[in-house]
Chain A
């Protein structure tokens, strides 16, 4: 008869194995690749990139409203551009020339997004403010 401590250890090992396997499976089924615009276009043919998250700057004046309530816009990494189609609620800070992150699939040359994130442009670190600072200690 094994001691209680041994039994606990055996339990722990079994639980550990089970969850390692579960974590592995869960990672496999929920992968999202995070790419830049150029990378997304270059990797388009590769079948492993089913679900993508692409970040880029929204081109000025590119946001267009469609009659079905969806919007189209172009994101760029200053090298290449992708046309994005998105339907749903738009974050308040989403506008021209901010960094947007879209999640969805790239079909031909259009990115069909079902998630849209916008990064806060005011990172509280404005260059002008930084330069005009006069520090006491420094």
Chain B
């Protein structure tokens, strides 16, 4: 019954989408307000219908109604209430429904972008077109309301790997960020379609792009944290295809956030910005396609289905249409001004974009390499993590160098000599810092990163100090200076976070160690400069699982830590075929993470372990959070 209602609601919302698209199409061409308003109403109708559908599916999930195929596939009797709701995005059909609902909500808010009424119909129609595609998928291809002929007593259950706090928030966060890219895309394309010559679309998009950037960053952070905690996913980043395709829209978007400043301030790079936002949007759709189609094998592939071909058709249609409209109307959007000096902020922003795009291209190449190589040579060839490390290292160095100079350099006519004077003190200080660091670290890569990092930080500090001295002398208060320079200081905060993140990645990858060892109870072992002792092992039984655990004592330079790695065997297997779950024992300190895995009971009184010592991973999490905080602060201020 409820399933039929759900299916019907979705079907009606698809019809509403078609009606809306037709009304917009004819309405915009004939300049009919009546037809356009029908289109606008159809968006409201779709949002209402999808909202009810989502509630129906949540109701079916939480009441464990196994007559619904999606419910039977993704949850089971032993699953808690919270995970039953999270199962909404555990599988394909539910994810697509949620995706459509979020997009319908976003599309609905377009009309509240008041200052540029003339662009509304065309932007809304673009967004509605994309929304209709997703509704098409859940109506005709992957319906979340399919029913089962024979109702099972218990469902297949959620994969134990997914029964996790991160499962409850990581996918949702990424969806919110990914989908938000649709709106700037719709503004940009809408602006072209309606032959708008102003920079309005960029100004309107800015909050959406910050919003998207914040959620994508948070989603990536949560994802890498989850992969770090979960065994077999290769640590916080493994250059796995699914990770790569999530990173690419973030890279393109970050490039856009920089280059769009040139358009806001000097009305420069107008065509370029349109292309960039197109790219970010297409990469987000490409990411969805790769993740969902299973075209490239990944350790994170949880969903695989038949929607691949539809996505290809959709991507091609949208790309061709966008390029066609761009080519047709690009004469309208040429930049009025020109770049006058090599040493100007706008020029540095261009170079920022170039390096970001090279990283994007590198990640893209690495991801699709197996497909390309198979097409051309018949052999499936992968590129390993060294590929990314080799190419991205100089890119990151270049971006960090830009990060030091670009924020303080003026627009238009920057002259070289005053800039060099400004950089003199920071250069000397960072050389000194690097010498101090040389006493503790011997790796060239690390020292190079230290040098540039401290350079960026000293430039930032100098800028703040000089500004404060000057303004305090003029009689301004601290608060006034902060609010005057609000955006600049927020961007410093973002950059500072990124610096911490890069240092964290560098130190943990250069100085990380791992060792395998076997111990019996009471035995201890010295590995490198720490001692490890197996105190005891235990077997426990709970309602859901059998637990094999161990208690170890680790002593490192005077400090002792207890570690409790576990192996869980779930009793109820359902159809999911996975019943084992390794609980990694992690002891976090600021300086080092002790990451211990109980691999196996050797069944001769000995136990098999593996330990990773990951130095300074903490900087990675702290840095990311600092950056995201900076982004939130920037966005918060814009809204007021």
Contacts and interface: CB of A to CB of B under 8 A. Distances in A.
Interface of A: 4-5, 7-8, 11-12, 15, 19, 22-23, 25-27, 29-35, 51, 53, 65, 67-69, 87-93, 95, 98, 101, 117-126, 129, 132-138
A83 to B, nearest CB: 20
A23 to B, nearest CB: 6
B69 A91 contact: no
B580 interface: yes
A124 B602 contact: no
Pick the 3 closest A-B CB pairs, nearest first.
A91-B232, A136-B7, A34-B380
Contacts of A67: 602, 604
Contact of B347 (A8, A19, A35, A134): A8
Contacts of B159: 120, 122
Contacts of A95: 577, 580
Contacts of B518: 68-69
B113 to A, nearest CB: 34
Contacts of A69: 516, 518, 599-600, 602, 608
8 contacts: A4-B339, A8-B347, A30-B386, A34-B379, A90-B600, A122-B575, A129-B73, A129-B148
B305 A126 contact: no
Contact of B387 (A27, A92, A122, A134): A27
Nearest to A91: B232
A87 B388 CA distance: 26
B381 interface: yes
B383 A137 contact: no
B427 interface: no
Nearest to B600: A65
B73 A8 contact: no
B299 interface: yes
Interface residues of B, number: 79
A20 to B, nearest CB: 10
B635 interface: no
Interface string B346-374: 01001100100010001001000110000
A124 B394 contact: no
B304 A125 contact: yes
Interface in B57-111: 69, 72-74, 91-92
Main secondary structure of the interface of B (DSSP, over half): mixed
Contacts of B161: 92-93
Contact of A92 (B294, B347, B381, B582): B582
Contacts of B350: 8
A138 B382 CA distance: 40
Contacts of B575: 122, 126
Given A92-B232, A133-B148, A26 B390 contact: yes
A117 B231 CA distance: 11
B270 interface: no
Contact of B385 (A22, A30, A92): A30
Contacts of A23: 362, 365, 391
B149 interface: yes
Contacts of A31: 381-384
A124 B7 contact: no
Given A123-B304, A126-B73, A26 B143 contact: no
Given A33-B381, A34-B382, A22 B69 contact: no
A30 B384 contact: yes
B578 A26 contact: no
B578 A32 contact: no
Given A12-B354, A132-B148, A135-B143, 20 more contacts: A4-B339, A8-B342, A19-B394, A23-B362, A26-B387, A27-B387, A30-B384, A30-B385, A32-B382, A34-B379, A67-B604, A69-B599, A69-B602, A89-B597, A120-B301, A121-B577, A123-B303, A134-B149, A135-B147, A138-B140
B91 A124 contact: yes
A127 B53 CA distance: 26
A18 B467 CA distance: 38
Contacts of A32: 381-384
